[in-house]
């Protein structure tokens, strides 16, 4: 219990200490200049970025279990007895006229670029005075490596949402890239240029984090170097590189980095999620959301009596987890493990953990994804090995193992199913569907899914010039 309380206490201290910096905008960067005059200021500024990421506008909801999951029709959170029609469910894709969708899109864009502005402010000040102010051995590189990794993380999700189907149109103008502070507007640049910039940041982060202690637990001698799974650590950077390379179609590098993480992270796939509801034991990068139970109570409830929380129906869950064939003992489905089972209402348990060691966790990158990336990046006839390993650990019998020699189409179909199961309420399935431009999916309410690319907000004026 001490470990979790201590972590939350540290976050409170850091977030209170850097609140002014958190709210600083690119056009008023002088406001946050004072904090960078001490080593502790740099540390609290970095932790402030993680605090911002837990806001509901981004990774505290919209980009994990919220808007991105709703785009792939995950939930049945309607008033009982009032089942929405396909037409009703399809309204979410009317991005320009549906006020709820438009509002979500606008706030995600704004908050993501605000966080990037804060990261840029940190990086600029590292260059200006980091060597003079940060005196503890190794701290400067750690802070710089995390900052570059975090910037890459945010830009990559912006690209995955606002960018094109990359395999079809990598030259499409997509986003403004901002890596410095100032008044100047930034024009849109192409998706492949964004990818190059992201990889450049990640390569730099990997270099800076070469001596990362990778301490995933408490460090009693140096608290700043503990709990690395709640920070952008070296393995998280490598895992993100695997994601980006696969997105860009570079399967050789995707496989290389995914295998490196599997072999060197010193983590194992979780076999029991009855307490570890968010699979924290295999986390490469989590967020710690202070007071999660209270903050998320309208969406997640540890009870079988559900109303408009994010529950799903019997037909929904049994289809997703292949209940009638291989899924009966799948820990991602089982009662008291992956879900809380009610009467035609099933609640995912990833955000309602009660065990002190596994509370307040928002999963962002997990080891299981590396198995799926590796399975997609090697020869199709060999990919069954990694898919089977993940499925077996999750409780699917070896008698149901996938055989060798599957085709490319079969591989994509199998991976599609595993992304759908594995990352329920985490937001990653949408990105898989978009990356492969899959025209329809389970519960898709439209004849053809043509809504993978979000429109740039109409009032985008503060963080970039979106004119072509």
291-343: per-residue pLDDT in tens?
Answer: 999 999 999 999 888 888 999 999 999 999 999 999 999 999 999 999 999 99
More confident residue, 324 or 468: 324
Closest by CA position to 195, among listed 147, 250, 117: 250
Exposure string over 430-441, b if 16+ CB within 10 A, otherwise e? bbbbbbeeeeee
Average pLDDT for residues 176-191, to the nearest whole number? 86
**What phi and psi values does residue 140 have, to the nearest 5 degrees?**
-60, -45
Which residue do the tokens 């200049």 mark? Answer: 33
More confident residue, 18 or 206: 206
Per-residue pLDDT at 5 exceeds 50: no
Res 3 pLDDT > 80: no
Looking at the chain, the number of H-run helices and the number of E-run strands are 17, 7
pLDDT digits (tens, 9 = 90+) for 36-66: 999 999 999 999 999 999 999 999 999 999 9
Reported confidence tier of residue 452, pLDDT bands at 50, 70, 90: very high
pTM value is: 0.93
At 385, the pLDDT band (50, 70, 90 cuts) reads very high
* Per-residue pLDDT tens over the stretch 121-151: 999 999 999 999 999 999 999 999 999 999 9
C-alpha to C-alpha distances, 13 to 45, 76, 228, nearest whole angstrom:
11, 39, 18
Q: Are 157 and 195 in contact (CB under 8 A)?
A: no
The pLDDT assigned to 304 comes to: 84
Tell me the pLDDT band of 431, cut-offs 50, 70 and 90.
Answer: very high
């Amino acid at each position: 219990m001490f470990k979790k309380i201590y972590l939350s206490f540290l976050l409170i201290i850091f977030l209170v200490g850097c609140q002014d910096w958190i709210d600083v905008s690119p056009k008023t960067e002088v406001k946050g200049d004072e904090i960078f005059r001490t080593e502790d200021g740099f540390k609290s500024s970095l932790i402030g970025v993680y605090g911002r990421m837990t806001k509901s506008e981004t990774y505290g909801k919209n980009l994990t279990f919220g808007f991105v999951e709703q785009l792939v029709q995950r939930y049945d959170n309607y008033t009982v007895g009032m089942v929405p029609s396909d037409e009703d469910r399809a309204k979410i894709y009317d991005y320009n006229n549906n006020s709820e969708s438009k509002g979500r899109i606008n706030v995600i864009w704004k908050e993501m670029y605000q966080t990037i502005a804060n990261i840029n402010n940190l990086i600029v000040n590292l260059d200006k005075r980091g060597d003079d102010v940060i005196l503890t051995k190794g701290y400067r590189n750690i802070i710089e490596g995390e900052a570059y990794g975090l910037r890459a993380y945010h830009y990559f999700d912006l690209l995955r949402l606002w960018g094109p189907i990359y395999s079809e149109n990598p030259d499409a103008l997509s986003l403004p890239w901002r890596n410095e502070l100032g008044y100047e507007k930034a024009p849109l640049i192409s998706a492949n240029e964004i990818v190059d910039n992201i990889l450049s940041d990640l390569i730099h982060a990997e270099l800076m984090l070469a001596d990362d202690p990778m301490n995933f637990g408490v460090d009693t001698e140096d608290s700043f170097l503990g709990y690395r799974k709640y920070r952008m650590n070296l393995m998280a950077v490598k895992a993100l590189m695997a994601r980006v390379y696969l997105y860009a179609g570079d399967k050789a590098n995707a496989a290389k980095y995914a295998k490196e993480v599997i072999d060197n992270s010193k983590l194992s796939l979780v076999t029991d999620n009855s307490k570890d509801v968010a699979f924290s034991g295999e986390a490469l990068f989590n967020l710690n959301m202070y007071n999660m139970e209270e903050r998320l109570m309208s969406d997640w409830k540890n009870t079988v009596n559900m109303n408009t929380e994010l529950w799903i129906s019997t037909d929904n869950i049994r289809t997703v987890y292949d209940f009638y064939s291989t899924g009966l003992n799948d820990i991602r489905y089982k009662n008291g493990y992956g879900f809380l089972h009610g009467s035609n209402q099933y609640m995912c348990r990833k955000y309602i953990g009660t065990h002190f060691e596994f509370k307040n966790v928002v999963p962002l990158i997990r080891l299981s994804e590396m198995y799926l990336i590796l399975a997609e990046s090697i020869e199709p006839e060999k990919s069954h090995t990694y898919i089977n390993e993940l499925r077996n650990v999750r409780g699917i019998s070896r008698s149901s193992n996938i055989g060798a020699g599957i085709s490319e189409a079969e591989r994509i179909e199998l991976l599609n199913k595993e992304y759908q199961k594995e990352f329920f309420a985490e937001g990653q399935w949408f990105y898989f569907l978009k990356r492969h431009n899959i025209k329809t999916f389970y519960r898709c309410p439209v004849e053809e899914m043509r809504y993978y690319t979000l429109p740039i907000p109409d009032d985008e004026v503060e963080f970039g010039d979106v004119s072509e």
